[in-house]
Amino acid sequence: MASQSLFIFGLGYTSTGIARQAQSRDIRVVSTTKRLQQLSPLASEAHQLLLFDPAAKQQLDEEGMRALQGATYVVTSIPPVAAKLYDPVLQAQQRALRQAAASPDCQISGLGYLSSTGVYGDWQGGWVDESCEPRTATGRGLLRLEAEAAWAALAQQLRLPLTIFRLGGIYGPRRSVLHNLQTQAQPNSSAVRRGQQRHTSRCHVADVAQAVLADMQRRSLLHHMSLPDGMQQDPPQQQQQGQEKFTWPGLRVGNRYVDVINVVDDEPAPRGDVEGYARQLLGSDQADASPTPQSVAAGDGSSSSSAMQAQSSSSPAQLSQKEGSTPKQQNSLRSSSSSSSGRRKEVLEEKRVRNDKLKAALGVQLLAPTYKEGLDSMHAGSIAPFGVEDLECLFSSNRR
């Protein structure tokens, strides 16, 4: 099999972990950032950084387009913009991918989009999996659903297989309740509100990285193997007047282009349990202190790094309708959001998220099956999947 390369739209906490783990597997990585100078220490011979900031009219240059065309897998970690009608960053990413897919030299075998389990909304604490309908009524959740729909539409248009990763609350080195207790970090008001939830499905950043790379391997194998009966490559789309030409012969698996996979651990747990365990690890002084909603909410993986950048009070972007959902369902979601738009406090959406498909479809064996293993490893000094220089660069540049 030819050498693999990974293209990442948006270099932040989680995507740096993905990039570092990819490099450890001899996968070449190219990442975009709008903070090129601040994050330049992350660049190396195996990891190229490119400036990309569509909001500031900074598109991919020729070098960037060549890197995109030559990538075997493309993942985006950029959250949707909290704005009506038009998301310039999403549009710029999709425009670049259309241009790359039109090239006869395009090597892309799959796409990945980092979304959030927040789209499932309120199930009153019940279990949900990938077959469950999204019920979110929050601005942030609706923005995520709209973005998922836009990426699904692009995947179908380009005939490129897409995996939507619905991530639980991401935690890891320097971003956990353990670290916050050690540094006495103060939570923000949003974190305090989330601390009232009874259930939180989490995922260690190292497990997010291995899930993405497992999907990259899966897509590459499917692209290069001889396909069995019932699985066939579509012939290249013929150019018609008024249409763009897409020459990459996308792979159709099971008559669909879009896959959804939850990336969470095995044990959704109350915030108090997580902090209580962290206090035990830190010693008797911490263990004697009673957890508070404020301290419990601080950094226990209550939201993904990209989701925190979206503004929950804004209206959802009016992008493509989510594939597989009806206009009535979409309107219902918007109505729920609109009816509560005047409230200062969003309804707490309770659910527990299953991860059976993550293990079955991608063969992932979780490094942190529960929050206990994750906190244990960090307490023992592990900073996986990062290097020391990664964390110093990320946090000194204030990228949260």
The number of angstroms, rounded, from the C-alpha of 240 to the middle of its chain's C-alpha atoms is 35
* pLDDT at residue 305 tops 70: no
* pLDDT at residue 235 tops 50: no
Q: By three-state DSSP, how is residue 134 classified? A: coil
Name the residue range of residue 250's domain: 5-396
* pLDDT at residue 342 tops 50: no
Instruction: Name which residue leads in pLDDT, 242 or 94.
Output: 94
Q: What is the pLDDT of residues 87-116, one digit of tens each?
A: 889 999 999 999 999 999 999 999 999 999
Average confidence (pLDDT) over 332-357: 64
* pLDDT at residue 24 tops 70: yes
User: Hey, which residues does 31 pair with through a beta bridge?
Assistant: 8, 49
**Lowest model confidence (mean pLDDT) among 100-114, 143-157, 221-235:** 221-235
* Contact of 312 with 139, CB cutoff 8 Å: yes
Residue 133 carries which DSSP code? P
- Among residues 151, 162, 164, the alpha carbon closest in space to that of 111 is found at 162
pLDDT band (50, 70, 90) for residue 366: very high
Q: What is the pLDDT of residue 177?
A: 93
* pLDDT at residue 78 tops 90: yes
**Lowest model confidence (mean pLDDT) among 39-43, 82-86, 378-382:** 82-86
* pLDDT at residue 85 tops 60: yes
The number of angstroms, rounded, from the C-alpha of 26 to the middle of its chain's C-alpha atoms is 22
Q: What is the pLDDT of residue 310?
A: 36
Whether the model pTM is above 0.75: yes
pLDDT band (50, 70, 90) for residue 3: confident
Count of alpha carbons within 13 angstroms of residue 34, beta-carbon side: 11
* pLDDT at residue 349 tops 60: yes
pLDDT band (50, 70, 90) for residue 320: very low
**Lowest model confidence (mean pLDDT) among 14-28, 283-297, 309-323, 333-347:** 309-323
Indicate the average pLDDT of the chain.
80
CATH number at residue 161: 3.40.50.720
- Among residues 389, 260, 317, the alpha carbon closest in space to that of 85 is found at 317
d(CA 85, CA 64): 27
Q: What is the pLDDT of residues 30-69, one digit of tens each?
A: 999 999 999 999 999 999 999 999 988 899 999 999 999 9
Specify burial of residue 230 (Cβ count, 10 A radius: 0-12, 13-18, 19+).
exposed
Give me the helices (H) in the chain, please.
13-24, 36-39, 62-70, 88-101, 139-158, 177-183, 189-194, 205-224, 271-282, 284-288, 293-297, 327-339, 356-362, 371-379, 388-396
Give the number of domains in the chain: 1
What crossing angle do the helices spanning 205-224 and 13-24 adopt, rounded to 10°? 50
Q: What is the pLDDT of residue 314?
A: 35
* Contact of 349 with 122, CB cutoff 8 Å: yes
Average confidence (pLDDT) over 144-158: 94
Average confidence (pLDDT) over 293-310: 42
Give me the torsion for CA of 6, 11, 17, 21, rounded to 10°: 20
Q: What is the pLDDT of residue 193?
A: 60
Q: Provide, rounded to the nearest whole percent, the portion of the chain with pLDDT above 70.
A: 72
Residue type, 257: Y
Buried b (16+ CB within 10 A) or exposed e, 115-127: bbbbbbbbbeeee
Buried b (16+ CB within 10 A) or exposed e, 242-279: eeeebebebbeeeeebbbbbbbbbeebbbbbbbbbbbb
Q: What is the pLDDT of residues 185-226, one digit of tens each?
A: 876 555 566 677 889 999 999 999 999 999 999 998 887 764
